[in-house]
Amino acid sequence: MKNIFIIFLCASLLLCAREISLLPDGKMHLYILDVDQGDSFFVVTPQGKHILIDGGPNLSTLEHLGKYMSFFDRDIELVIVTHPDADHITSLPNVLHRYTVNNILLSGALHTSGRYQELLDTISQKEISVLLPSPTQDILIDGITLDIIWPPPNIVGLHPSSQNNFSIVTRMMFGNDTILFTGDIEEEAEQLILASGVNVRSTIMTAPHHGSRTSSSTGFLLEVNPDLILISAGKDNRYGHPHGDVLDRYTSLNIPIKTTPSLGTISMKFDGV
């Protein structure tokens, strides 16, 4: 009996220590989740609210959320689905079942895959509020501003030939820190974004399309002018992401990178100053 009590006490102390470490600290936390060949980004706001951008190609996002969210907190303020490809949405139906999701942002473009339909059915079943991109209305969450700069509103209800080029692109601003989440856009969308005249300048950028050779055009990189590029991809993946030509382009522009194949989950903290 004494041994059982000691084990219970140690477990309780470990749980308490974990919960204390997850208390809001007034900073914004960004986790580039290591989900293999896909994207999933998790943001914790200064007061402890949660934003999830994409859900990766498998169910590992659930494991990561369990690590970075309090055991007693089951709320996610916003889920952003950049586009319907499986490597960005596979875990999301499970996320919606396990957590209370208040809002979900979709591009509004049509897609007929079974996996995406499962996500839409779950959204409907859970009666989750659906948001669509609006270039004139930012999303404000706990001192963080989300400027949805792409796609244009006229994509709603259409079935585009390239889902990648209509990925939701979000410019997240917290004080002086700005992060550009690019989904899987390719050079065509990059040029259209630049032509629209929106402000893309950001201190950090996620590599478009996992560092594909069809993305990260020189003009786009020069306009964003990031201090760091974050690359989410699978180790030794069959697509060759990130492509050597793109890495050379980053190097030629003196842009440092961090990659999940090299580092696993990447954790960053911002004070907004």
Domain locations in the chain as residue ranges: 25-270
Question: What percentage of the chain has pLDDT greater than the value 90?
Answer: 84
CB 57 within 8 Å of CB 40: no
What Cα–Cα distance (Å) separates residue 43 from each residue in 23, 50, 79?
A: 14, 6, 10
What's the CA gap between 203 and 83, in Å, rounded? 24
Interval 95-140: pLDDT, tens: 999 999 999 999 999 998 999 999 999 999 999 999 999 878 899 9
Pick from 18-22, 26-30, 150-154 the range whose average pLDDT is largest. Answer: 26-30
Please tell me the class of the 25-270 domain: alpha beta
What integer is the mean pLDDT of 48-58?
98
Q: What's the whole-number average pLDDT of the chain?
A: 93
pLDDT at 1 over 70: no
Can you give the pLDDT at residue 126? 98
| 3-class SS shares of the chain: helix, strand, coil, % to 5 | 35, 25, 40
**pTM of this prediction?**
0.92
DSSP states along 88-127: HHTTHHHHHHHSEEEEEE--------HHHHHHHHHHHHHT
More reliable by pLDDT, 10 or 67: 67
Whether the CA torsion 147, 46, 13, 32 is positive or negative: it is positive
Provide the pairing of β-strand 100-105 with 75-80: parallel
